[in-house]
Amino acid sequence: MSMRAIIVGAGGHSKVVLEVIRAMGGHEVLGFVAPAAPGASVLGLPVLGGDEILPRLLAEGVQTAFVAMGNNQLRQEVAGKLRKMGYSLPAAIHPSALVSPSACIGQGVVVMARAALGTEALLQDFAIINTGAVIDHDNHIGAAAHVAPGCALAGNVTVGERALIGVGAAVRPGIRIGADAVIGAGSAVVRDVAAGAIVGGAPARPLRRS
Ligand SMILES: CC(=O)SCCNC(=O)CCNC(=O)[C@H](O)C(C)(C)COP(=O)(O)OP(=O)(O)OC[C@H]1O[C@@H](n2cnc3c(N)ncnc32)[C@H](O)[C@@H]1OP(=O)(O)O
């Protein structure tokens, strides 16, 4: 029997999460929860309403939610609220992902198509491993961090909470990336990155913000 579920968030990332859930099977997604105009829909499913409908849905027996917001801080905050309310927040793992049997995957983690999780990789709650990203052995990916499509993280890399590793970045073995850091698209990270830093290029260096 399928579990009834909702997706919280209704942007681009939420559509991909819906397709991951459908590919996994086992859940009937009723719709999306997000502030939106009446009648809005995403991939043919309705936007059911904003946050105010969450207690009612829970009371009606919809106990499973997938938090699907691309913004790392927001995703972590919303997930915390849903957890307190009593929602069950399972991981969503695309069946085409290669997942080591010794990888450890937290609550609400999303692993997109063709991603690879290596031996003893640890993914903390609400992390996103996007399409085709490689998380090699002994990586520690912090809570609500996002490793964007096509990244390659060599062995023993540590990524802090809410950090964003931009699309196609490559990270040398053993590198530590701090919480809330942003790694620019296409970067080669060869030195540790401080918490909150924004770096880019090959080799990655601090970026001026415009
Ligand atoms: C499915 C999905 O879509 S998942 C989404 C994943 N998201 C990403 O991969 C986004 C990653 N973000 C980036 O790479 C961004 O360019 C950032 C965050 C690094 C910088 O963004 P902003 O702060 O807006 O910087 P802005 O674009 O104004 O550029 C500032 C300077 O940094 C340079 N720069 C920006 N990005 C990079 C980069 N990736 N590598 C090298 N240099 C860069 C710019 O050329 C510019 O240099 P200049 O001042 O000499 O002209």
Around Cβ 97, how many Cβ atoms within 10 Å? 20
**The pLDDT value given to residue 125:** 98
Cβ of 31 closer than 6 Å to ligand 1, yes or no, is no
Q: What is the mean pLDDT of the chain?
A: 97
Catalytic, 137? Answer yes
The 10s digit of each residue's pLDDT in 77-100 is 999 999 999 999 999 999 999 999
The 10s digit of each residue's pLDDT in 157-200 is 999 999 999 999 999 999 999 999 999 999 999 999 999 999 99
For residue 210, report the distance from its CA to the centre of ligand 1, in Å: 10
Rounded to the nearest 10 degrees, how much is the dihedral formed by the CA atoms of 111, 114, 119, 120?
-10
pLDDT exceeds cutoff 70 at 210: no
| CA distance linking residue 16 with residue 1, whole number of Å | 23
For residue 121, report the distance from its CA to the centre of ligand 1, in Å: 28
For residue 204, report the distance from its CA to the centre of ligand 1, in Å: 12
ipTM for the predicted complex comes to 0.98
For residue 169, report the distance from its CA to the centre of ligand 1, in Å: 12
Q: For residue 167, what are the CA distances in angstroms to 122, 164, 171, 189?
A: 20, 9, 12, 13
**The pLDDT value given to residue 51:** 94
Cβ of 201 closer than 6 Å to ligand 1, yes or no, is yes
Residue ranges and CATH numbers for the domains of the chain are 3-90 (3.40.50.20), 92-203 (2.160.10.10)
| CA distance linking residue 116 with residue 38, whole number of Å | 39
Which candidate, 56, 59, 70, 63, places its Cα nearest to that of 12?
70
Cβ of 113 closer than 6 Å to ligand 1, yes or no, is no
Cβ of 150 closer than 6 Å to ligand 1, yes or no, is no
Does an H or E element contain 16, and which? helix 12-24
Cβ of 187 closer than 6 Å to ligand 1, yes or no, is yes
The 10s digit of each residue's pLDDT in 129-164 is 999 999 999 999 999 999 999 999 999 999 999 999
For residue 166, report the distance from its CA to the centre of ligand 1, in Å: 9
The single residue of 13, 94, 137, 146 carrying the catalytic annotation is 137
Among 187, 205, 207, residue to substitute to test ligand 1 (most atoms within 8 Å of Cβ): 207
Cβ of 148 closer than 6 Å to ligand 1, yes or no, is yes
**The pLDDT value given to residue 37:** 78
pLDDT exceeds cutoff 80 at 208: no
**The pLDDT value given to residue 105:** 98
pLDDT exceeds cutoff 90 at 1: no
**The pLDDT value given to residue 209:** 61
- The helix/strand/coil state of 108 is coil
